[in-house]
Amino acid sequence: MTASPLQALPLDELRRRSSTKWRKYGDDVLPLFVAETDFPLAPAITARLAEAVALGDTGYTPPDPGIAGAYAGFAQRRFGWQVDPARVRTTCDVMMGVVEILRAVTVPGDRVVVTPPVYPPFYSCIEEVGAVDERVPLVYTGDGWELDLLGIEAALAGGSRAVLLCNPHNPTGTVHSAQALADLADIAAGFGAVVISDEIHAPLVHPGVAFTPFLAASPVAPRVGFTVASASKAFNLAGLKCAVMVTASDEHTAIVRGLPDEVEWRTGLFGALANAAAFDEGSDPWLDSLLAALDENRRLLAELLAEHLPQARYRIPDAGYLAWVDLTALGWGDNPAGRILREAKVALHLGPLFGEEGKGHVRINFACAPEVLREAVARIGALAASS
């Protein structure tokens, strides 16, 4: 039975929020940039947090806040992936988990492979640990994007020590195939390298698309891989700090357990409570309704772009609520989001921040009401018509 689409909150209510999406710009701007969603929280999360507030349950996060078991259950139900709860450790957020694992497996000056266009904090996280990013762009096939496995192999052969993987990929919405991930694991193993897989968008894979967790891609993957994940993107919990670091081998479990205690202490109690509620089976119907809404919006965006911006190039993403749109043909320069903000009053994410491959591109967050999406694209289309 197909879930009914979740309904976004009205704009006047959303503008009462105090988060970045609703405070960075004035009320004349439609904000479709940062990865926050416009939907009500899952009821189980609201109830759990309300109970904590009523109890004054605002102290330190305990050693076992219930996340490990909840995440293992979620992974089994949604991905068919068996996670050992004893191999799950929490931290503040996904990027902090990435940084701390990188600190443990690299030394300053090491090179780390990234696959642009990619989430901008990947670059700063690598810089934070004193490593250097080595960029091996995704390959566009005409029907989507793929990992450049030969390019990654060459980078590792040249001395790179790790691969920072975005799976599913932000901003393209690519869900890497099981075969590509298995091949990546083999390549990394051949050079004694590691793969750190950011799987924060995994709960948001759309109908008809199979998601493969990196650690489940092959018998080799557990030997080379680490996974970092959170409920924050799917369930709109970025302000409630919590992520999980997952391993599947004794060696890598020891590495994560050996991280300083402070790495785990940075987990927020409300983040832990909210993530446990999100990963619980009781939140599955809400997630299915969210996916139904996002499925409609990703297709609606294609129709709107065809109507108002036929020069735009957009491939409907296989995961997530972020659209990667090429506006090069409009002639608005390397960073078209700047002009769109100034003249159309629509805030989009800046393409060049994702790497050289982002020039001429914008990233559009379509986790909003359909009427907001219609208005935003109509404004951009009017700007194009007047140019």
Give the tens place of pLDDT for each residue, 49-90. Answer: 999 999 999 999 998 999 999 999 999 999 999 999 999 999
pLDDT of 340 > 70? The answer is: yes
The C-alpha angle with vertex 214 and arms to 208 and 216, in degrees rounded to 5, equals 85
- Cα 72 from Cα 87, distance rounded (Å): 10
Report which residue type is found at 154. Answer: A
- Cα 153 from Cα 136, distance rounded (Å): 10
Q: What integer is the mean pLDDT of 334-348?
A: 98
Average pLDDT, the chain: 97
Domains of the chain: 11-41+284-386 (3.90.1150.10), 45-283 (3.40.640.10)
pLDDT of residue 88: 98
Q: What integer is the mean pLDDT of 93-105?
A: 98
Least confident of 141-145, 163-167, 319-323: 141-145
Long-range contacts of 329-337 (CB under 8 A, 24+ apart): 330/384, 330/387, 331/387, 332/360, 332/387, 333/360, 334/359, 334/360, 335/359, 336/360, 336/361, 336/362, 337/33, 337/362
Judged by DSSP in three states, 40 sits in coil
Q: What integer is the mean pLDDT of 32-52?
A: 98
Around 154, how many Cα atoms within 13 Å sit in the side-chain half-sphere?
Answer: 9
Measured in whole angstroms, the distance separating CA 343 from the mean position of its chain's CA atoms is: 29
Query: Does residue 351 contact residue 360 with C-beta atoms inside 8 Å?
Result: yes
Residues with Cβ within 8 Å of 167's Cβ and at least 6 positions away in sequence, in order, are 175, 176, 181, 197, 198, 199, 202, 213, 214
Query: Does residue 211 contact residue 205 with C-beta atoms inside 8 Å?
Result: yes
pLDDT of residue 387: 81
pLDDT of 279 > 70? The answer is: yes
Does an H or E element contain 12, and which?
A: helix 11-14
pLDDT of 1 > 60? The answer is: no
Report which residue type is found at 147. Answer: L
Does this model's pTM top 0.95? My answer is yes
pLDDT of residue 375: 98
pLDDT of residue 183: 98
Query: Residue 220 carries which DSSP code?
Result: S
